[in-house]
Structure 1
């Protein structure tokens, strides 16, 4: 399938995990892609993995919590590839910590990276899309829908609930411009985010204990979420806007 022939896509958090997998799938289906992340070396390595030719992927390093980073990513896509058709607002951070231990610095880290980052990057993208139409897909979270005692995440969940609310509001505001916006809400997905607060050995030990938490009996993989993102970004979803799609192995449906 080449659903994205000639399309131009910008992806935040594109250097690893869900973002990198999503970028690879867009390129495989004919798109040209601009990826953002904080680490230039990681981004450059991801770009080489995705597109050894060097023609279809550009990189822009920067912290998405600074609105200038999102604007620069959109500008880079438009100036290099001529336009912007799709924004995948994927960058996020995660490190469970009890509410009573959360500091203002922790709170700001979550709210600025997850909510402020997605807010102003979406604004920059919408400005670039307002005459041509386009699609925004956000990575939200199952934790914004349901609290999980094993992974205390008050600030993280609050930030993602903001992302979900933003989807509904922007769906209405941007509909006259033919810009659709939706979100995926994943449960536990096996990505390098867990290595940011656990050692490799801990990850190997802890992640399998979450398999049974999902009614379908396994953790998610980056491709599970990437497939949903590509669907929402495609013409196949042309009548879907303002939706939050759980991609969670059945978690929000209930528990055994």
Structure 2
């Protein structure tokens, strides 16, 4: 099934993890994609892997905390593909640290990357979409819905709660332009983000201990979230806007 033939998609945090899996699925369903991230070499390698032809994936590197980066990403889609139909606001950062140890720099890192980045990238996308409609999907977080003692994340969770609130507000404001906006709220997904604060051996040791945390008995994979993102971006979700969809193996439903 090719739900996105002729569509142009922009994805932040597209070089690895959920963003990379999502980009690959969009291309498989006929879309042309611009991927953003901070590491241009990683982006280019991802683009070659997803689309060896070089025709359907382009890169737009930069730190999404700078509003100019989001504007450049949208401009790359419009200039290369003539339009922007879908924005996947996926870029994020994660490094659990106790509240009493969080610094202003930590706080700014979370709020700038997760909330400010998504806010201004969504604004740039909405300006490009307002005459033709479109869909925006944010990657929020289960941690914004429920606190987990094992992974203290006050600033991260606060930033993602802002992302969830933005979804509801923008759903109302952008509905007259036929722009839908929704979010996914993942629990533990096995992505490279854990390697940013744990050694390879720690990742191998620690991640499996979270399998049982999820009622369905396993951690999530990037593809689990990508499928939910594609659904929310597709015409199958044409009457869905302003929602936050948990993709969490049952965590927010309750405890065993």
TM-score interval (norm. to shorter): over 0.9
RMSD of aligned C-alpha atoms? 0.2
* Superposition misfits of 4+ residues, deviation over 2 angstroms: none
How many Å apart are 1:87 and its aligned residue? 0.1
Q: Name the SS for the 2:150 alignment partner.
A: coil
Q: What is the distance in 2 between the residues matched to 1:78 and 1:198?
A: 38
TM-score (ref. length: structure 1):
1.00
Where in structure 2 are the equivalents of 1:58-207 lying within 5 Å?
58-207=58-207
In structure 2, the partner of 1:38 is: 38
Q: Deviations over 1:43-102 (max 9, x none)?
A: 000000100000000001100000000000000000000000000000000000000000
Q: Name the SS for the 1:74 alignment partner.
A: helix
TM-score (ref. length: structure 2):
1.00
How many Å apart are 1:135 and its aligned residue? 0.1
How many Å apart are 1:30 and its aligned residue? 0.2
In structure 1, the partner of 2:21 is: 21
Q: What is the distance in 2 between the residues matched to 1:49 and 1:163?
A: 30
Q: Name the SS for the 2:55 alignment partner.
A: coil
Q: Deviations over 1:158-179 (max 9, x none)?
A: 0000000000000000000000
How many Å apart are 1:38 and its aligned residue? 0.3
Q: What is the distance in 1 between the residues matched to 2:140 and 2:181?
A: 12
Q: Name the SS for the 1:18 alignment partner.
A: helix
Q: Deviations over 1:145-165 (max 9, x none)?
A: 000000000000000000000
Q: What is the distance in 1 between the residues matched to 2:46 and 2:201?
A: 24
Q: Deviations over 1:175-222 (max 9, x none)?
A: 000000000000000000000000000000000000000000000000
Q: What is the distance in 1 between the residues matched to 2:79 and 2:173?
A: 26
Q: What is the distance in 1 between the residues matched to 2:65 and 2:128?
A: 20
How many Å apart are 1:37 and its aligned residue? 0.1
In structure 2, the partner of 1:228 is: 228
Q: What is the distance in 2 between the residues matched to 1:193 and 1:49?
A: 20
In structure 2, the partner of 1:246 is: 246
Q: What is the distance in 2 between the residues matched to 1:8 and 1:67?
A: 21
Which consecutive unaligned segments of at least 5 residues does structure 1 have?
none
Q: What is the distance in 1 between the residues matched to 2:52 and 2:199?
A: 31
Q: Name the SS for the 2:170 alignment partner.
A: helix
Q: Name the SS for the 1:59 alignment partner.
A: strand
